[in-house]
Structure 1
Amino acid sequence: MLLAGCGSGPDSGSRPGAGESTHAGPQVRPPVAGDPFDYQLGGPYDLPAGVGTVVRDRTAAPAPGAYNICYVNAFQAQPDAVGWWREHHPDLLLRDADHALVVDEDWDEPLLDVRTADRRERLAEVVGGWIDGCADRGYDAVEADNLDSYLRSDGLIGRGEAVAFARLLATRAHRAGLALGQKNAAEMTGLRDRIGFDFAVAEECARYDECDTYAQAYDDAVLVVEYRKQDFTRACRQWGKRLAVLLRDRDLEPAGRPGHVAARCDGS
């Protein structure tokens, strides 16, 4: 299950340990494995006591004193940004043989066209600008969403093309001094080193028996988000001593709004 963030419009040998980086450029610092976190894509609010890591949309300000991860919709266009893409980069939206946009129907998000090296380079300039903006605002890392959008491309995009684009984003993030997180797509964890991912954000990995895959690939630097109480309970029981696990409502409502749910394995 993928959950896209809100408000991300166009404006804008042995493996190293969790605190190390092999990338050139500014020091890249992944989140600390197991550090309690909050997932605030629906809108920012004050961090709960004891929470040191937070994920926010790139349009939001980072939380003072926390490890901040900047959400970027890297492989699809936000619904409210489609007009901007049509006006400024119409050929970078994926289209089928009838010239119709190929859309992720679950979120009403057109896919970005990463099929050629030229398009990937141009898209990397757009998305890379957002990544640079995250760094300028004081974020520590980036969560690049919809890595697996090629699976929703009706066969038009190959896995290798998605990987090639992800590598460009990793280079851009590391150049800016930001760690880059793999979002979902457990089947691609084996490509961590090839792409350059530094940690993972895994939605519903307990529900789909994928937490171990992420934990092994990322040395436990994994942020687990569950949306069902039974899956959260299972994640805490099996992984709560190693991974950061969070229960959230699917709409990711900010604290104080109806429907807001946020809980961690320690009861906070």
Structure 2
Amino acid sequence: MRRLLWLFPVLLLAACTTAQDGKPSPRWQPTPGLAWQWQLSGKTIDTSVDVPVYDIDGFDQPKATVAALHREDRKVICYLSTGAWEDWRPDAKKFPKSVIGRGNGWEGERWLDIRQTDVLEPLMAARMDMCEDKGFDAVEPDNMDGYKNRTGFDLDASDQLRYNRLIAKLAHDRGMAVGLKNDLDQIPRLVDDFDFAVNEQCAQYDECAANTPFIKADKAVFHVEYELPTSAFCPESRRLKLSSMAKKYELGVWRRAC
């Protein structure tokens, strides 16, 4: 017994040393109810919003912006489009025509053939590397529900599950948390693969309860509405423990939080 008692502080010291020797700490896990700011437009991020979480564009924003937010004790999410091609991104020419499909309703954006993971995985891995190199805590991968849209490809639910899990793994392999964007129907099968959810307009379409599996798993649901006043959705959002706010479609600085 004396020997075991003697060894305990030694083992504890070794454990602490290991933790301080550069091994990765557990990735960030946002919990329900966290306030957030989502700013994707404008080259300059307004860092004065008093919230613990910022979601900003991974390409447009430099490492210095992430560092500035970290100095204010904010967690920072890296926005990426992983399911659609964007013609203005610096890596746009690396995507072969064979993976580029129909437009997704936004200028310059077209759906990707997510079945072609041999082509897309290295491209998405490079984007994840960029987020990691800039110091982001998490990734918001957009356009994660192509199988429910007219993409120009014959995608089904299994294709989407496979691809979404690949995206989650790429983020996790780099120590970053990752959110499931929309894709409500697949939440029950994907909640264990993702660390939080990001949802647009679930109140407008009476779908917010579909996010409940994330809340039950003690994982945040970051939610926005564009066309409803806060009085129309905040009471329900508070009941469901969503992190909700009203935003304008351009996703600038303006926000009205619940």
TM-score (norm 1): 0.75
Q: Residue 67 of structure 1 aligns with which residue?
A: 75
Where do 5+ consecutive residues of structure 2 fail to align? 1-23
Q: Which string of whole-angstrom CA distances, capped at 9 and with x for unpartnered residues, describes residues 168-189 of structure 1? A: 1111111111111011121111
What is the number of residues matched between the two proteins?
A: 222
C-alpha distance in 2 between matches for 1:36 and 1:217:
16
Q: Does 1:130 find its partner at 2:127?
A: yes
Matched residue, 1:206: 203
- Structure 1 residue aligned with 2:252: 253
After the TM superposition, which of the residue ranges 104-113 and 59-68 deviates more from structure 2?
104-113
Distance 1:264 1:142, change over 3 A: same
Runs of 4+ in 1 over 6 A off after TM superposition: none
Q: Which runs of 5+ in 1 are unaligned?
A: 1-24, 95-100, 255-260
Aligned-pair Cα RMSD in Å: 2.2
- Quick check: 1:216 aligned with 2:213? yes
Question: How big is the shift at 1:50?
Answer: 3.0
Pairs within 5 Å for 1:153-168: 153-154=151-152, 156-168=154-166
Larger Rg: 2
CA contact (8 A) 1:68 1:139 kept: yes
CA distance in 2, matches of 1:47, 1:32: 22
Cα gap change, 1:134 to 1:155, in 2 (>3 Å): closer
Instruction: Find out whether 1:79 has 2:77 as its counterpart.
Output: no
Q: Is the 8 A contact 1:128 1:172 kept in 2?
A: yes
Distance 2:191 2:211 in 1: 13
1:240 is displaced (CA, Å) by 2.5
- Contact 1:192 / 1:217 at 8 angstroms: preserved in 2? no
SS in structure 2 opposite 1:80? coil
Q: What do residues 45-70 of structure 1 show as CA deviations (whole Å, max 9, x unaligned)?
A: 23345311010000213222211111
Helix, strand or coil: the match of 2:37?
A: strand
The 3 A distance-change label for structure 1 pair 206 and 105 is closer
> CA offset at residue 108 of structure 1?
3.9
Counterpart position of 1:33: 32
Q: How far apart are 1:214 and its partner, in Å?
A: 0.8
In proportion to residue count, which structure has more helix? 2
What's the counterpart of residue 11 of structure 2? Answer: none
TM (normalized to structure 2)?
A: 0.78
Q: Residue 77 of structure 1: SS of its match in structure 2?
A: strand
Q: Measure the CA separation in 2 of the matches of 1:105 and 1:51.
A: 31
Q: For 1:92 and 1:170, how far apart are their aligned partners in 2?
A: 24
Judge conservation of contact 1:31–1:67 (CA < 8 Å) in 2: no
